Every structure is written in C-alpha cells, then in structure tokens.
Structure 1
Amino acid sequence: MKDMVLSFRDVELTLQGNAGPVNILRAITLDVTRGETVGLIGPSGSGKSSLLMLMGGLERATAGTVSALGHDLTALGEDALARFRRQHMGVVFQSFHLIPTMTALENVATPLELAGRRDAFERAEEELRAVGLGHRLDHYPVQMSGGEQQRVALARAAAPRPDILLADEPTGNLDGPNGQAIMDLLFGLRDRHGATLVLVTHAPELAARCDRVITLADGRISGVETRRKEAAE
C-alpha cells in the first residue's frame, strides 16, 4: 500500500462575508498518496484554491480533519504549521511573490538560511541552474521576464526538497511557450525529487498530465478521473 501524504475527512470551510457566512468547501473527503500528481479543476469560485490552501495549512478548516504526512494540521498552532511547511512543503503561486530587493539567488537562499541550512546558497544556485537560470543568479526580479520569475519561484519551492509541492495556477500569468516550459519544470521537479504534486489549473493540457484529476463545483468534489493506472502495489 502506498504511503498516505494528504488526507481530508469531512472537511468544511466557512468564511464570514459582508452578508454573513459563506460556505467555501463542503464535505470534502480525499486522500493523496506519495508521488502522486493531482490536478484540481473547476469553474472560478468552486473552491480549488481554498482546498489547496487547506492542504498547505495556509487556511484552517471550519470542520473535519486535514492531515499531512500523518500530522493533523487542524491541531497545530501557527508556529508549528510554519515549521511543518518549511520542512515538508513547497508552494508556488500564480503571482510570483519574489522579494524585489533580493537577487534570484538571495530569493531562493533566504528560506533555506532561515531553516538553518549551512549550504543555503550552494543549494539555491543548484536549483536555479536546474531551472535554466544559471545566468540570472545576480539579477533582481524587475530585470527578469514573467517566465523567469516563475522559474525562480519554482527553484525556491524545490530547494528544501519538499515532500509535498503545491502549485496554484502556476502558468496563469504566462504566455504559451513560457507556460509549457513551467509545466515541464514542475513535472521535472516531481521526478527529480520524488515530491507529491498537487496543482490548481484552468489549463486542460496541464491537468491532462496529472495522474488524477479532481473536479470541484460549488465547494464539493463533483468528479474524479484517474488518468494513469497506478503502479502495482
């Protein structure tokens, strides 16, 4: 039996809006196994990004349990959640979230330094070269294209060698060629580091590369499609 990496049991997410409570996610029960690639699709407002945020402990469930690598994220405090993410997760957003006053190398190395890694800059350079940015180490975000900035964000997410890689519309701000390159890099990172990959996307070609595609509608799972047969246990 494959190792369980993410597990949701009867998860609900309700947020307070101007007109009262808004049900974002309802009765979500879901398991993700080690090394699996899962695509989350559905119309805008269906709850895809909220589900991803729950997986990363960036949002708290209103009801139910969310477990990652055997840890109950709903029971952890903010500091413990931050440590867990730093040790086990990499997150890539549609907006690159790079620090504008830092070079590409510094953007990737800083989280590693904060985690106490002595080889932070060596590891950061290795990851930047792996995404084709060996010639951009000393460049600032403003000096790079959108595609290059997303590559830096990917390198930053991959540098800690995370068990879980979460990506929210990673190609959403990019043109066709750059989007294709980022797709290839994402799956390359999964293959190179063995991370479990969960991504939110509106791009059919990106979802088609996933082992499993989960469709959300009105905050519920409305469909699950397995794209590849699981390897024999």
Structure 2
Amino acid sequence: MPEPVLSLKDVTLSLKGNAGNVEILHGISLDVAKGETIGLIGPSGSGKSSLLMVMGGLERATSGSVLALGRDLTSMDEDALAQFRRDHMGVVFQSFHLIPTMTALENVATPLELAGDKDAFAKAKQELDAVGLGHRADHYPAQMSGGEQQRVALARALATQPDILLADEPTGNLDGANGEAIIELLFGLSEQRDSTLVLVTHAPELAARCDRVIQLRDGLIDTQRQAAE
C-alpha cells in the first residue's frame, strides 16, 4: 500500500488552562490516504478542531507522532513547520483570517510571494477567477460579503497547489446559499488539484460528501464510517 499522506500514532494533546493542564486528545491513531476526503464531526469540545490543528502542525502534539508526507511534524521547529505548511498545506478557517489592509488579490498572492514565486500576482488572479471573484481582485475584505471573503480564503489556501487542504468549519459563518457554494468549490477544486482534504464540520450534509466520516467524542475516535458512494 502507498504511504499515507497523514499518519498519526498515539497522539495526545494537553493544553494549559486556568485550572491546570486540560487533556484534549487521548491517544489518537489515524491514517489518511492521498486524495481522500475526511470529515471530522462530533459535539463541541470533542477535540475535532484540535485534531485538525495537530495535523497541520498549528498545535504541537504533547506525545505521539504526526507524519505528513512522511515528515515528522513533532520533530520540526517553528520555522521548519511554517515552511512545510507553506510548501505543502492550505488551511481554511471559519473566520476567514484575511489581512484587512490587503486587497483580495494581495491576500491570495501572499503565500506565493513568501514561496518566492515570480508569477505570484498572475497566479493569484487565476485563483480568484477559479472561485468566481476575478472582478473583486482590487476590493478589500471589508468591502466584501462573508461568502466572498471565504472564497478569497479558499483561493489563498489553494494558491500554492497544496498536497493537503485543512478546513475548520469552512461554512460555519455563512448562510445556506453561500455555504453551499463554498462546499461545491471546496470539493470541486480540491478534487481538480488532487489535494487530500480534511475538514471539521457540524453540518451532516457536508460530512456526507466526504469519503470517510470520523466522529470524535471526549478526545477519542468514537466511530469511523465510509460516507460517499
């Protein structure tokens, strides 16, 4: 069998809270294949967003191993992690995280510029076109609707042609119509680019679009099931 794109073994995560350490994840082991779409579901506080952050090296596992494309994220320093994410991962957050002083085009071009791409702005324009926002390239986030901002965030995440796309409640701040549009773009574009997609969601219809649904409860994998036909 080919090596998994993501491989977690006995991963734990504990974070410091006001009352001391809080155990978030309890020994999670999970493999994700190339091109697979994974939906992480579960009640609030079950650890699904924390698991996604660990997969992306945005939270460092307390113990266990996290391999992405065969590289151990737990052994990397912050600079190496940032470079690895820049080169191999795209992340979409619920709250967009666009830079307010930059236009849509500049927001999308930023990761390309950081990677030293001389064609950053031309490629950024292509990505905005791909999400239907080429005509909004010169607009700032405050001049755009929530749905438009999330499209820009998706274009930015996909601009570097990432091997792995991580999405944390990508439709959580959107109404039904805008949420559906983002779902179609998210799955359509990640499939076109052959990206592996892992997403956190509370929406059953979104989870049902995935190849596999993993339910977390109290920091543990509760159930796994194949979802898509």
Could you state the TM-score of these two structures normalised by the residue count of structure 1?
Answer: 0.97
Instruction: Measure how far apart 1:2 and its partner are.
Output: 3.7
How far apart, in 2, do the equivalents of 1:46 and 1:160 lie? 31
Secondary structure at the aligned position of 1:138 is classed as: coil
| One-letter amino acid of the structure 1 residue matched with residue 101 of structure 2 | T
How far apart, in 1, do the equivalents of 2:59 and 2:196 lie? 20
Post-superposition Cα deviations, 1:14-73, rounded to whole Å, max 9, x if no partner, equal: 111111111100010000000000000000000000000000000001110000000000
Correspondence for 2:221: 221
Correspondence for 1:208: 208
Equivalent positions of 1:77-92 (< 5 A) are: 77-92=77-92
CA RMSD of aligned residues (A): 0.8
| Residue 99 (str. 1) matches residue 110 (str. 2) | no
Does the 8 Å contact 2:111/2:159 carry over to 1?
no
Does the 8 Å contact 2:6/2:32 carry over to 1?
yes
Equivalent positions of 1:1-233 (< 5 A) are: 1-228=1-228
Deviating above 3 A after TM superposition, structure 1's stretches of 4 or more consecutive aligned residues are: none
| One-letter amino acid of the structure 2 residue matched with residue 184 of structure 1 | E
Instruction: Measure how far apart 1:98 and its partner are.
Output: 0.6
Does the 8 Å contact 2:208/2:228 carry over to 1?
no
| One-letter amino acid of the structure 1 residue matched with residue 92 of structure 2 | V
| One-letter amino acid of the structure 1 residue matched with residue 191 of structure 2 | D
How far apart, in 2, do the equivalents of 1:90 and 1:47 lie? 20
Q: Structure 1: give runs of 5+ residues left out of the alignment.
A: none
Instruction: Measure how far apart 1:190 and its partner are.
Output: 1.2
How far apart, in 1, do the equivalents of 2:86 and 2:36 lie? 21
Matched residue count: 229
| One-letter amino acid of the structure 1 residue matched with residue 138 of structure 2 | D
| One-letter amino acid of the structure 2 residue matched with residue 186 of structure 1 | L
Instruction: Measure how far apart 1:228 and its partner are.
Output: 3.7
Does the 8 Å contact 2:37/2:210 carry over to 1?
yes
Could you state the TM-score of these two structures normalised by the residue count of structure 2?
Answer: 0.98
Instruction: Measure how far apart 1:101 and its partner are.
Output: 0.9
Secondary structure at the aligned position of 1:29 is classed as: strand
Secondary structure at the aligned position of 1:4 is classed as: coil
How far apart, in 2, do the equivalents of 1:211 and 1:92 lie? 19
